[in-house]
Amino acid sequence: MRDNFLPFSLPLIGNEEIEAVVEALRSGWLTSGPRMKQFETEFCQAVHAPSALALNSCTAGLHLALKVLNIGPGDEVITTPMTFAASVNVIEHTGATPVLVDVEPDTLNLQPDAVEQAITPQTRAIIAVHYAGHPAELIALRAIAEQYNLHLIEDAAHAIGAAFDGQPIGSGENLTAFSFYATKNLTTGEGGMLTGSSELLDRARVLGLHGMNREAWSRYAAGGKWAYDIVEPGFKYNMTDVQAAIGLAQLNRFDRMQARRHEIVQAYNKAFGSHSTFLIPTTRAHVTHAWHLYVLRLRPAELSINRNQFIDEMTARRIGTSVHFIPIHMHSYYRDKYNFHPDDFPVAHTAFQNMLSLPLSPSMSDQDVADVIDAVLDIRQKFARRRIAA
């Protein structure tokens, strides 16, 4: 038994981040400024993106993506029920209608065939969520989008460091939103990035800061001009230089942090992969998995306890876990508005009932990893169903 509680996903923050923040504070420039611009440039280079826009959240990026594509009332946007609510809330915020389709049994990403079957004359876009860091089937989804003249938006909140057919997620011309939330592979505490074509991001940049045609940096820095114009009603979605300072430090050691995530995943796979009690995560051959989450699925026939009880047992052993996610159609707002039932999306619903996310962070020590493995296997041993020979 551990002496202390192991949090589900503790960020790795070191002297580099602390010193970068102190330097930003001492510079006198706290809001969007030179560090934010540098972070945009370096992130853009890291994911081979055409252009990048730093924001205060991935949610802001998804909302701006829909707005710059002029999606609104009367339009439909197809997406997944297996995601955090933000992916679908932004569709509601535009006045468009979210259309949910079920997910693939192995990756829990959108089923391309189900997407195509859901298309109507009102469909304008697809939001593909790269669940847990495993890229969705982009070739199939791009082909569908092209055939039906739809926009493809990528929710890459989990997918920093992921790639599809050797191409980094975020490297395309289509709009892709990343998250730098506290638990993400790269964190700024809160924050996000929108990548895509320069033309689309030029408008997103204006919309993301009140609809102003000039940023504060261009007005208040040495030689700046005070005048500005509001060209359309926008939002307050900009990233601060303090956040960007953390992001730059994280980006500088991102490869090392990812390598540690992969080491932990390998240890988990080795420990759990040979047991019929568990279904370990899938990695298809043509992708690079970002490993934001390690989602372990239980086979209920093998255990005398359910998922919730399994989590309680982990907590009793001082191991933090989580569940990703409660499917969208099971939340009261969406359930009541659209008359959803739990089994409307059976793959997502069944996966939800049997899944838990194990701790996965580069801040974890070898002993932390061993403690997680020991706890999972101990629970399995304690609550395995006893079969009686015929």
Positions annotated as catalytic residues are 184
β-pairing, 355-358 vs 294-298, is antiparallel
β-pairing, 163-164 vs 287-288, is antiparallel
Rg (CA), the chain: 22
Q: Which residues pair with 97 in a beta bridge?
A: 76
Q: How far is CA 324 from CA 132, 355, 366, in A?
A: 8, 8, 24
- Please check whether residue 297 is in contact with residue 355, taking contact to mean a CB–CB distance below 8 angstroms: yes
Strands (E), 109-150: 123-129
β-pairing, 97-100 vs 176-179, is unpaired
Rounded-to-integer distance, Cα 251 and Cα 281, Å: 26
> In the numeric block, which tokens belong to residue 130?
């790269």
Q: Tell me the one-letter amino acid at 55.
A: L
Query: Which residue, 262, 277, 293, is CA-closest to 359?
Result: 293
- Please check whether residue 242 is in contact with residue 34, taking contact to mean a CB–CB distance below 8 angstroms: no
Rounded-to-integer distance, Cα 380 and Cα 384, Å: 6
DSSP 8-class letter at 209: B
If residue 193 lies in a helix (H) or strand (E), which one and from where to where? strand 192-195
Length of the chain (residues): 390
